[in-house]
Amino acid sequence: MKLNSANINVMVKACRKASKTLIRDFGEIENLQVSLKGPGDFVTNSDKKVEKILIDELLKARPSYSILSEEIGEINNDDSFKWIIDPIDGTSNFLHGIPHFAISVGLEHNKEIICGIIYDPIKDEMFTAEKGNGSYLNNQRMRVSSRSKLEDCMIFSGGPKREAKNRELALKEYYKFSIKVLTPIRKLGSASLDMAYVAAGRCDGFWQRNLNYWDIAAGIILVKEAGGFVTDFNGENEYIQNKTILATNAKINKEMIEVLK
């Protein structure tokens, strides 16, 4: 079985088309690493090229929908439907030639994410989800893990950036989790893929501060449709407003909230 609704098909087509540019540009990164100029400008241009392809394809198929995207900001049309786009989530990985980054596209209807795609073009892994119809990885149904003891779990996180205002608090949270789990905490550098991996059962929980909406939009529906929980650090649904997100399987959410308290 696979998801093949009209909206999902539009998103898949857009991601596939944009990924061709991304894969080609990623192949040039190794050469750019040794240049005097460095790859920073190149990556910015890659972001913009991928974003333009995504927006062109999505607007062609759904000209009335609004758009929120990392690079260009907002395109305001019909506000009841809105695409939420991150053209390259994991830009620093991309910049350093590390093959772990993704295109992330979510579709919001009346302020609720109803569809999401996170596409890892290097591994050719397409994570998709639609409200009420489940989560899938390359057309295979995904479920969150069933581990129930936090100490046995694989936990992901990210950040904090050097200039983060609550840097010390984030480091304290990292320390508190590090003494709770047997396996060292992973920081892989792409929040969207972190959430996709929770949905796929590859890891059991993920927490992070100060993420933008486009970093997490698609991941929200992926985790929920795979049977997991998405909350803020207090167990509420204010994760967009207060920029604290916690994504877990169905069994460790409360225990992770206790650690974060």
Number of domains in the chain: 2
Residues 81 and 123 in one domain: yes
- pLDDT digit string (tens) for 4-28? 899 999 999 999 999 999 999 898 8
Summarize the confidence of residues 32-47 as an average pLDDT: 59
- pLDDT digit string (tens) for 173-211? 999 999 999 999 999 999 999 999 999 999 999 999 999
Please indicate whether residue 95 or residue 42 has the higher confidence score (pLDDT).
95
Residues 59 and 136 in one domain: yes
Long-range contacts of 109-114 (CB under 8 A, 24+ apart): 109/80, 109/81, 110/80, 113/84, 113/217, 113/218, 113/220, 113/221, 114/7, 114/221
Residue corresponding to tokens 């990164």: 29
Kindly indicate the confidence band of residue 115, based on its pLDDT and cuts at 50, 70 and 90. very high
Show which of 110, 141, 172 is a domain's final residue.
Answer: 141
Contact (Cβ atoms closer than 8 angstroms) between residue 170 and residue 80: no
Residues 129 and 159 in one domain: no
Show which of 141, 170, 200 is a domain's final residue.
Answer: 141
CA distances from 108 to 84, 114, 148, 188 (A): 7, 6, 31, 27
Residues 126 and 157 in one domain: no
Residues 43 and 109 in one domain: yes
Q: What is the pLDDT of residue 41?
A: 54
- 46: domain CATH number is 3.30.540.10
Residues 119 and 154 in one domain: no
Residues 31 and 156 in one domain: no
Q: What is the pLDDT of residue 123?
A: 97
Residues 136 and 12 in one domain: yes
Residues 169 and 211 in one domain: yes
Q: What is the pLDDT of residue 42?
A: 56
Residues 117 and 17 in one domain: yes
Residues 135 and 56 in one domain: yes
Query: Out of 30-34, 161-165, 183-187, 212-216, which region has the weakest mean confidence (pLDDT)?
Result: 30-34
- The contacts of residue 42 (CB under 8 Å, 6+ apart) are 25, 28, 29, 32
Residues 81 and 132 in one domain: yes
